Amino acid sequence: MVQSKTGLFEKGLTKKAELFKVLAHPARLQILQFLSQTQNCITGDISDELPLCRTTVNQHLTELKNAGLIQGHIEGVRTKYCLEPERIKEMKELLVSFLEDIQPDDGYVCDKCG
Amino acid sequence: MVQSKTGLFEKGLTKKAELFKVLAHPARLQILQFLSQTQNCITGDISDELPLCRTTVNQHLTELKNAGLIQGHIEGVRTKYCLEPERIKEMKELLVSFLEDIQPDDGYVCDKCG
DNA sequence: AAAATATGACGTATAAATACGTCAAATAAA
DNA sequence: TTTATTTGACGTATTTATACGTCATATTTT
């Protein structure tokens, strides 16, 4: 980059791009999916489920936490993680709004490819 | 990474993560949005719209093309770009399926934060 | 034909992401 | 108390992404 330019874009675009970035790794997607399937808190050793080192998984968990998509509760020596329903809902709304923005209308035409 | 591990995940997850990666930059989102707004082909000098160098914008256009989300038609010395409706539709379906996978059920509870 | 314009290929510098090892702290078990 | 577990902070190697400059090619325009 020599210099990051992401700050020069319209704020809404930046926010969406940041969300997409959080979702741009299979490990993080699998964690979210797993949390959704269990529909409950799980202990931190999700690493057994993923083909990655425990500390790497921990790193992904931290990213999801920073994005607010999951929460972690300390329980003795363990940590339990669960989805953050509020933030997940926000995410859903952001994605839906993106879909509405982008999708071509029915009347979409193009000289060459239409 | 020392060694990329993204290939070790379930294929569906990888595919979704790749899509999200393409969408994880404001420049690419703005290009898609712009193409959607005009609802037609536009010449390559989209760079005037973005706070980036022309060649950088071109790079982003290429990434979108590689992902199949847009198409480029050569027209003399110019190149016209437009959305690829089929692929956009696929993208939408992928995102919707992701939303369905992840969203917590109504009965979602958590010992601590519920 | 010569000059101007538009585009993309290529190289490269820097920033960010990814992956893991090591270590220390906190708690539970022996 | 001593030992074992669980966790996250930290450092770091390597890969990937980002951003731009330069150049060559192709097409208009003059």
- With contacts defined as CB-CB under 8 Å, which chain B residues touch A103? 36, 88-89, 92
Q: What are the pLDDT digits (tens) for B2-54?
A: 889 999 999 999 999 999 999 999 999 999 999 999 877 788 879 999 999 99
Q: Are strands A78-83 and B70-75 parallel, antiparallel or unpaired?
A: unpaired
Q: What are the pLDDT digits (tens) for B67-88?
A: 999 999 999 999 999 999 999 9
In this structure, the number of other CB atoms found within 10 A of the CB of residue A58 comes to 16
- With contacts defined as CB-CB under 8 Å, which chain B residues touch A26? 6, 9-10, 13-14, 16-17
C-alpha span between B39 and B34 (Å, rounded): 8
- With contacts defined as CB-CB under 8 Å, which chain B residues touch A71? 110, 113
In angstroms, the CA of B112 and the C1' of C14 are apart by 44
What is the DSSP code (8-state) at residue B103? S
Question: Which tokens in the block code for residue B2?
Answer: 């020392």
Give the one of A33, A36, A99 whose C-beta lies nearest to B95's C-beta: A99
Contacts of A38 by beta carbon, 8 Å cutoff, 6+ apart: none
Chain-chain contact of A103 with B88 (C-beta, under 8 angstroms) = yes
Q: Is the CB of A76 under 7 A from strand C?
A: yes
Segments of chain A with pLDDT less than 50: 114
A-B CB pairs within 8 A amount to 164
Report the SS3 class of residue A110: coil
